[in-house]
Structure 1
């Protein structure tokens, strides 16, 4: 397809600039494509590495994950609670997570975001445009106790 020779607009120079930016995934020798599942797993593992993250996923996803853990031979989904969009050069990540009680959520979100971006960009060469974090729950230490607790005030 040929461009009109009377191009007075800036589109020719802007397309030249877009082509001048090389991608680690595209070269003269071929193109590398990275599946959504790959980025999803990397982001999920990176988020879980941060101290203060108790779990990933909403209530339903965590319940299904707990059932999956009890089935012999089944493995927990590493990408649970992680949604990604992957393009040719960029990726966007959405995380649903549960924090530990007492952890400052803003600081935790900043640490998770930084770790996810570093891991995804470092392993894939994709530019991470955004990491959106939804905190769905706070894990309390008493949530781990087995059985109902009797109240000392009521007998």
Structure 2
């Protein structure tokens, strides 16, 4: 993320008042961004291969919960936030439309819920999910040609 992405501004914010100051932790913004990203149709999973593998193991542990911030990196300043998202897209969706939908949803959710100005949302599509990929392990022992 660029240094100017989270530059401090001098404008007043809903987070500061005469009665006190509210600060927002990075984890709050990353969870909101993760949930908002998953709401967009065409997103198959968040995170790179390692993050998804660790997430799959974590979900199998009884009593564990889903990591909503998987694949999300944030920088939070006093009044601004910058967000990086790594994801796997569904095959067949327009990646440009998907990225625009994610940006809109994430910016709206973060700005509405925490009052921070989102200065950038960077999206890295790391893979495309194809339905036939799920059953690929089942046919590993079969010859490709007969």
Provide the TM-score with structure 1 as the length reference.
0.83
The offset of 1:93, in angstroms, is 0.3
| Deviation for aligned residue 1:125 | 0.3
Equivalence for 1:80: 70
Structure 1 residue 76 displacement after superposition: 2.3
2:91 alignment partner in structure 1: 101
Match of 1:92 in 2: 82
The runs of at least 4 aligned residues of structure 1 exceeding 3 Å deviation read none
Distance (Å, rounded) in 2 between the aligned partners of 1:70 and 1:147: 21
Instruction: Please report the TM-score for the alignment, with normalisation by the length of structure 2.
Output: 0.88
Which residue is equivalent to 2:125?
A: 135
Aligned partner (choices 112, 115, 124) of residue 125 of structure 1: 115
Listed as ranges, the gaps of 5+ residues in structure 1 are 1-17
For residues 54 and 17 of structure 2, the distance between their equivalents in structure 1, rounded to whole angstroms, comes to 42
Question: Comparing both chains, which one has the higher relative contact order based on Cα–Cα distances under 8 Å and sequence gaps of 6 or more?
Answer: 2
Give deviations 1:23-81, integer Å, cap 9, x for gaps: 01011111100100000000000000000000000000001111111111122211000
Alignment partner, residue 55 of structure 1: 45
CA distance in 2, matches of 1:154, 1:143: 19
Give the alignment's Cα RMSD to 1 decimal: 1.5
Structure 2, unaligned runs of 5 or more: 1-8
Distance 2:59 2:15 in 1: 36
